[in-house]
A and B are shown apart, each in its own frame.
Chain A
């Protein structure tokens, strides 16, 4: 049973965390060189025009006024309008369009990591010091060691260029299908709208052809980040499982005549999962951040790419909004991890 007090305490902790992140982002952007008004006006604009933009944006106000205004707006998820990337478009709207792209990628990557990592870790622990264990460990070590900017182009080269099985980039075959964005998650949108999807030329196609196209496009990027995630999860699962299987209660269960598999899955897995869940939580956060590389390699326009662009062109509202949304998601995932802990081991919320 999950204690409501525990969840409430964790939710309350979100407030200082987000307040701290907002303050840090504000301070860093204030300290960074460059004038946003100059960025908006352009390098050739007159000094008068730049001053006028500064006045309009409130950049002339004392710093504490700007800080207070920023905090108040951020508390309402209002980050203002983009300066340059999508001029005058509310940042909230830009994030609403881009965030699902990255979330979808991170979710599928994490799913691949969990689905492969946990069984591999268990097998590796059960068959300790056998050839299976050695192979799994080498695989896991390789997965951790190979950076995404190398594994990404490698899988493109092998599976897209050499074998021609999968597409190289993008989220869907845009030349064939036009899909209306509803949730922003392309696999969900194409699945739901499959029946209505039409070719750009107007001809109806197989109901789920757009969905299959979206899945095909998702496989390589999701696998690229999933392999990295899988490697960490399987290593942690192995060591955690090995520790649990040496505990007295496992020996007792076996002595009482319980089968090895049931003992392992019923008593061992639940306890061994606790540290693994920590890794999954932290990993999910880094997947969101690490999606920048994957998005760049596979030409996916998600929030990671948006953040890099916004930093490059000095689009402060977009940077602030993106970082705060990242922080919010990360803290939410950690909250989920904490709640899962207490569900797995009720002693944790004491």
Chain B
């Protein structure tokens, strides 16, 4: 089959990956696989933290409600604590994205590398945010059910 354009399947410039020459199709499918893996990893990260938060939200609301506070007070307390974590994480995530790699570059420039990375910060904030959102949902669900 003649190559009319570079976008025709199999006609793009071959690229190298880990030392072996692979065709553009293989390269593309590897890229999409990697993208899918990254997406799954992100979902797993936030999902796990959210599930922990949800369980803790439900458990926390029940514990606070049974130790003196009325149902509404318990729900408000636990929901607000979750909202604190969620709000903090949102701000931290936005700050990491806004700062970009400049903090890493500054640390490298000043030779004071602490191992802090933008992607690490975003992951940490996503985890805290997921946890906080989970707690909020947990407290809300408990309020609805109980």
Contact B98 A13 (CB under 8 A): yes
The listed residue with most A CB atoms (<10 A of its CB), out of B76, B98, B139, is B98
Bound together, the chains give a CA A46 to CA B90 distance in angstroms of 41
Contact A17 B94 (CB under 8 A): yes
- Among A10, A30, A334, the residue within 8 A (CB) of B76 is A30
Whether B55 is near chain A, meaning CB under 8 Å from some CB there, is: no
Closest chain B residue to A14, Cβ basis? B94
Whether A26 is near chain B, meaning CB under 8 Å from some CB there, is: yes
Interface size on B, residues (CB 8 A): 24
How many residue pairs between the two chains, A and B, have CB atoms under 8 Å in the bound complex?
A: 73
For chain A, residues 308 to 331, give those with C-beta under 8 angstroms from any C-beta of chain B.
none
The listed residue with most B CB atoms (<10 A of its CB), out of A13, A22, A62, is A62
- Residues of B contacting A19 with CB < 8 Å? 90
Given the known inter-chain contacts A16-B90, A21-B91, please indicate yes or no for A64 contacting B80, CB distance below 8 A.
Answer: no
- Residues of B contacting A17 with CB < 8 Å? 90-91, 94
The listed residue with most B CB atoms (<10 A of its CB), out of A24, A31, A63, is A63
- Residues of A contacting B94 with CB < 8 Å? 13, 16-17, 20
Whether B97 is near chain A, meaning CB under 8 Å from some CB there, is: yes
Bound together, the chains give a CA A64 to CA B139 distance in angstroms of 9
- Among B81, B89, B143, the residue within 8 A (CB) of A62 is B143
Contact A16 B79 (CB under 8 A): no
A198 CB to nearest chain B CB (Å): 49
Contact A21 B79 (CB under 8 A): no
Enumerate 25 A-B pairs (CB-CB under 8 Å) in ascending A order: A13-B94, A16-B93, A17-B91, A20-B87, A20-B91, A20-B94, A21-B87, A23-B86, A24-B83, A26-B80, A26-B87, A27-B83, A27-B84, A28-B80, A30-B79, A30-B83, A31-B81, A31-B84, A62-B140, A63-B75, A63-B76, A64-B143, A67-B79, A67-B136, A338-B98
Q: A13-B98, A64-B79 are in contact. List 11 more A-B contacts (CB 8 A).
A: A10-B98, A16-B91, A17-B94, A20-B89, A20-B94, A21-B91, A30-B83, A31-B84, A60-B72, A62-B72, A63-B143
